[in-house]
Structure 1
Amino acid sequence: MTAGLLTLSVIAQRGGPAPPVQLNTLRMPPAVKLGPHVAALGLIFYTGDMFPAEYKNELLIAQHGSWNRSNPIGYRIGLVHVHEGQFASGQRIFAEGWLQGRQPWGRPVDLLQAPDGSLLVSDDLQGRIYRITYRAG
Structure 2
Amino acid sequence: MRDVEVAWGAFCEFLQVGIDGIEGPEDDGDGFIVQWGRWDWNDGRPALSFGRQLAVSAGHGPEGLEWQPEYWQVELQLVFAEDPAWADLDSLGRQDTGFRFDGIGVPRAAALGGIRSSLRSYPQLAALWQAEPLRCDLTLERAG
Query: Taking structure 2 as the reference length, what is the TM-score of the superposition?
Result: 0.34
Rg bigger for which structure? Answer: 1
Q: Give the helix-richer structure, 1 or 2.
A: 2
Q: Give the strand-richer structure, 1 or 2.
A: 1
